[in-house]
Structure 1
Amino acid sequence: MLSPSEIRRIHFIGICGTGMASLAAMLKESGYQVSGSDEGVYPPMSDFLADKGIQVMQGYRVENLKPEPDLAVVGNAVSRGNAEVEYILNFKVPYTSFPEALKNFFLRDKTSVVVTGTHGKTTTTSMIAWVLHFAGFRPNCLIGGIAENFRSSYRMEGGAPFVVEGDEYDSAFFDKGPKFMHYLPNVAIVGNIEFDHADIYPNLDAIRLQFSRFINLIPERGYLAVGADSPVALEVCRKTYCLSETFGLSPENDWGTRDTAMEGGKLSFDVLYRKKLFRRLRLDLVGVYNVRNALAATAVLHRLGVPEDDIRDGLEAFLGVRRRLQLLAEVDGIRIYEDFAHHPTAVRETLQALRDAFHPKRLWAIYEPRSATSRRNFFQKEIAQALSLADCVAVPALFRPEKVPDGERLDLAQLIADLRQTGRAAWNLDSVEGIIQKVCEEARAGDWIVILSNGGFGGIFEKLPAALAAR
């Protein structure tokens, strides 16, 4: 790749993903001429890019590359046959992947803090970035969601730390390795490791191998925080060349907890460092998974030299992440939440958190099997067990079922049957409209509804509250 000093004009092929759009905005703010194209250009991403002054073209056409850019950044959703990809290959236009561009433009001269794991990456990354800002460390960050404290997915304050969410998904059609392999980790977290991304990984061993390779990139003077509540993470991180510490719910870990409770509506717990009290935290969050996220953040912040009181005060001022158990509306005594959970572990922990913290009279789970893994039957039993923590469950038809081979698809009829066998009210309703109609017929004051999806889910986040208000 050309050096950043040789580049003026950059074009993003597939610009409307959260990561690609955020990187485009960062480069625009750094003084580069930035343009992009995508086949799905619509709000809120189209509004975000327009506000940043970035020209975005609808659809992929050769004309979008005129005048020819100095560099094309190719998103991992783009493949061969794309008109713009074929042009840059035919005419040898310099190109790179999203994670490689992030490395070369922003990470090489920074203290790179990389947060990895199957679950909790976005929240933990946001916690670390926010507390570094709170403590005056002037961090830079790139997050796979909207941190409510920043109301943004990125931050460029110019200080030494760069906090980045390290995704294990592949980088581009020409680089099938994980994004996190590009991020030059000085400080890292491996929070947990489970099977996911069934479209690119055949089994857990394949994922384990990639995390092992990532661990091997941390320099001798670096630091690694390991989630001790994940047996696979502990196994993968057993051999390191840097200082490593464990975190988890047990007080036996390097970073542990005790006396966890909801106090005055806040998630409260003692943080222990090597079995001695570090600080007691009171967070505006729920769920034991957020205890783990806060422990991981605390371990890294401590390593980066943030004062103990600033760690406590910053975390207690943390506002969370958009789409992570976010209250959408309250209509006639019915509370409606949105959450990004789609993996069975995340679904289970989200529903359990609501039950433990608020004891709702009746809990609904409206679950969309949308991700590559959740549309498959690999977790057929596990997703039924997770959803059984709700009293009422509604699921739509599989999202783009043609993308999953017949024998591998999640069996929705079996899922509903398994849920009903446990005494749950469960429905497989083909459309969002069908789900809304069923909820409007059945929901009553005191119900809590959680919409679980990693996508747009046919606009249900806006449509359901409106329908309940109009009934």
Structure 2
Amino acid sequence: MRLHILGICGTFMGGVAALARELGDVVEGSDANVYPPMSTQLEALGISLKQDYRAEHLQPAPDLVVVGNAMVRGNPAVEYMLDRQLRYISGPQWLGEKLLADREVLAVAGTHGKTTTTSLLAHLLESAGLAPGFLVGGVPGNFGVSARLGQGRHFVIEADEYDTAFFDKRSKFVHYRPRIAILNNLEYDHADIFPDVAAIQRQFHHLVRTVPGNGRLIVNAHDAYLAEVLAMGCWTPVETFGIGQGDWRATLVEADGSVFTVHRGDELIGEVSWPLLGNHSVMNALAALAAAVAAGADPRVLLPAFATFESVKRRMEVVGEIGGVRVYDDFAHHPTAIAATLAGLRAKVGKARILVALEPRSNSMRLGAHAQALAPSLADADAVIFLHRPELPWDARHVTDALNGRGTTAASVDALIASLRDQAQAGDHVVFMSNGGFEGAPRRFVDALRP
């Protein structure tokens, strides 16, 4: 079968493309933003990529068009597809019907930590010899690809609450029908499609309704919004996790989260020592461990695998160190994630200076939905440069002014890099935060630091 994927270079749809190729389909696709690392990964698989969305890219007609959720009415390729009555399907529905129906699915849902937790869960199952398939919204360091079919019966999938497609406004995760589901956390996000937290909770409850009675729900013990979701009705055994509370409990040995002990009930499972930082990372670890055990793995056998976990690219990824300045690329794009990431780094580096370059890239950030919470989330930063492009519909100075002299704005990436270069000095930690390409800013900054 010949598939054409619209929006192929998004992290999710790129994974769909890789899986379809592994299943033996002929795969091609188009996107407005054909750039690494996804473009290089897809081209290495023999997938043909076309720049922009044009009617001629669907000529001759493919057997099936797989439509990404970034596609909208008015898009030339979408209009051509509809006018010519080409067969089409959403990416999540294609996955659910073509791939997941015959697998034991482990789904990782939550506002934060989905990509890291999905990658870690796949790594734990791999270390247990279960050879899982997976689809991750990033590139896991232990595997080097964002998706694979796997040899075992388990399939681990990042389960996003964003809507499925322009013709299907349900959350993506309702298509996956997991037997084991992690509910990592829940708070307000995606302001472009959800009016309030209650609307997101309803979607999470749709997911809960699909998990069978002989499955398992792994739920954050600290999260009141998730407790309210379960109170709407739950027909599946629940195991909770948390720091100091829950069925699965962590106790920090190191304040930065790099070493902690794990209890299941009153039973000590053992100690984890690993390269990740922050309480949020500890929570992700507990969730992945509990889910892997629910899938049949021995928890004590799994613990050594944490030490060899290589996090996803763009999750506090060190992209260079020049002249004593260490530079990180991070995907954090929500105040809670920003605060957690910086707190973990602060616990690690002590009094060293932390400089943050922030791009408001997500729909919620661009709309200003998180504006009031941004300044408090940057409390651990010594200096912040906020990328305030002219088209941003709200005034970023409301954020930088609240930082009491620690914040400035830049109208372009070039200006931002120049400002950072002037400020950075030996011993600094510079963190670029965006869930978009940031015009390659982290590596461009590393180049700018070279003598």
Q: Indicate the TM-score class for this superposition, using the shorter chain for normalisation.
A: over 0.9
Shift of 1:398: 4.2
| Secondary structure, counterpart of 1:294 in structure 2 | helix
Aligned to 1:244: 238
Map residues 286-365 of structure 1 onto 2, 5 A cutoff. Answer: 286-365=277-356
- Residues in 2 aligned to 1:431 and 1:242: alpha-carbon distance in whole angstroms: 50
- Residues in 2 aligned to 1:447 and 1:24: alpha-carbon distance in whole angstroms: 40
Are residues 1:77 and 2:40 paired?
A: no
Aligned to 2:10: 17
- Residues in 1 aligned to 2:55 and 2:360: alpha-carbon distance in whole angstroms: 35
Computed over aligned residues only, the root mean square deviation of the Cα atoms, in angstroms, reads 1.6
| Secondary structure, counterpart of 1:261 in structure 2 | coil
Aligned to 2:47: 54
1:370 to 361, 364, 368: 361
Shift of 1:468: 1.5
Aligned to 2:399: 415
Shift of 1:259: 3.8
Residue type of the partner of 1:419?
Answer: L
- Residues in 2 aligned to 1:360 and 1:376: alpha-carbon distance in whole angstroms: 34
Shift of 1:315: 1.9
**Contact 1:74–1:98, Cα closer than 8 Å, also in 2:** yes
- Residues in 2 aligned to 1:293 and 1:146: alpha-carbon distance in whole angstroms: 17
- Residues in 2 aligned to 1:438 and 1:367: alpha-carbon distance in whole angstroms: 13
Shift of 1:46: 2.7
After superposition, the C-alpha distances for 1:249-308 in whole angstroms (9 at most, x for unaligned) are: 12x31011124315xx97111101013211211111111111100000111111111122
| Secondary structure, counterpart of 2:60 in structure 1 | coil
- Residues in 2 aligned to 1:91 and 1:266: alpha-carbon distance in whole angstroms: 55
| Secondary structure, counterpart of 1:53 in structure 2 | coil
Residue type of the partner of 1:379?
Answer: H
**Contact 2:5–2:66, Cα closer than 8 Å, also in 1:** yes
| Greater displacement, 73-82 / 290-299 | 73-82
Map residues 37-52 of structure 1 onto 2, 5 A cutoff. Answer: 37-52=30-45
Aligned to 1:463: 444
Residue type of the partner of 2:438?
Answer: F
Shift of 1:227: 0.5
Residue type of the partner of 1:249?
Answer: I
Shift of 1:373: 1.1
- Residues in 2 aligned to 1:103 and 1:400: alpha-carbon distance in whole angstroms: 38
Aligned to 1:127: 120
Structure 1 residues 205, 418: CA separation in 2 closer, same or farther (over 3 Å shift)?
Answer: same
**Contact 1:369–1:398, Cα closer than 8 Å, also in 2:** no
After superposition, the C-alpha distances for 1:17-64 in whole angstroms (9 at most, x for unaligned) are: 111122112111211111112222233333222211112222323322
Residue type of the partner of 2:441?
Answer: I
Shift of 1:414: 1.6
Scaled by the length of structure 2, what TM-score is found?
Answer: 0.96
Residue type of the partner of 1:160?
Answer: R
Structure 1 residues 330, 240: CA separation in 2 closer, same or farther (over 3 Å shift)?
Answer: same
- Residues in 1 aligned to 2:363 and 2:407: alpha-carbon distance in whole angstroms: 23
Residue type of the partner of 2:136?
Answer: I
Map residues 136-285 of structure 1 onto 2, 5 A cutoff. Answer: 136-238=129-231, 239-250=233-244, 252-261=245-254, 267-285=258-276
**Contact 1:360–1:448, Cα closer than 8 Å, also in 2:** no
| Secondary structure, counterpart of 1:146 in structure 2 | coil
Shift of 1:71: 1.1
Structure 1 residues 219, 400: CA separation in 2 closer, same or farther (over 3 Å shift)?
Answer: farther
Shift of 1:316: 2.1
- Residues in 1 aligned to 2:32 and 2:365: alpha-carbon distance in whole angstroms: 24
**Contact 2:32–2:53, Cα closer than 8 Å, also in 1:** yes
Aligned to 2:409: 428
Shift of 1:229: 1.6
Q: Unaligned regions of 5+ residues in structure 2, if any?
A: none
Q: Unaligned regions of 5+ residues in structure 1, if any?
A: 1-7
- Residues in 2 aligned to 1:222 and 1:427: alpha-carbon distance in whole angstroms: 50
| Secondary structure, counterpart of 1:322 in structure 2 | coil
Give the fraction of aligned pairs with identical amino acids, expressed as a percent.
40
**Contact 1:139–1:160, Cα closer than 8 Å, also in 2:** yes
- Residues in 2 aligned to 1:64 and 1:54: alpha-carbon distance in whole angstroms: 14
**Contact 2:9–2:38, Cα closer than 8 Å, also in 1:** yes
Shift of 1:141: 0.3
- Residues in 2 aligned to 1:304 and 1:316: alpha-carbon distance in whole angstroms: 21
Map residues 437-448 of structure 1 onto 2, 5 A cutoff. Answer: 437-448=418-429
Structure 1 residues 145, 236: CA separation in 2 closer, same or farther (over 3 Å shift)?
Answer: same
Map residues 79-98 of structure 1 onto 2, 5 A cutoff. Answer: 79-98=72-91
- Residues in 1 aligned to 2:340 and 2:352: alpha-carbon distance in whole angstroms: 18
After superposition, the C-alpha distances for 1:117-142 in whole angstroms (9 at most, x for unaligned) are: 00010111011101111111010000
After superposition, the C-alpha distances for 1:208-243 in whole angstroms (9 at most, x for unaligned) are: 111111111111111100011211112212331011
| Secondary structure, counterpart of 2:102 in structure 1 | coil
| Secondary structure, counterpart of 1:270 in structure 2 | strand
| Secondary structure, counterpart of 1:22 in structure 2 | helix
| Secondary structure, counterpart of 1:127 in structure 2 | helix
Shift of 1:149: 0.4
After superposition, the C-alpha distances for 1:358-394 in whole angstroms (9 at most, x for unaligned) are: 2142111111111111123332231100112211111
| Secondary structure, counterpart of 1:375 in structure 2 | helix
Aligned to 2:376: 385
- Residues in 2 aligned to 1:274 and 1:389: alpha-carbon distance in whole angstroms: 34
| Secondary structure, counterpart of 1:157 in structure 2 | coil
Are residues 1:397 and 2:416 paired?
A: no
| Greater displacement, 431-440 / 204-213 | 431-440
| Secondary structure, counterpart of 2:318 in structure 1 | strand
| Secondary structure, counterpart of 2:365 in structure 1 | coil
Structure 1 residues 308, 325: CA separation in 2 closer, same or farther (over 3 Å shift)?
Answer: same
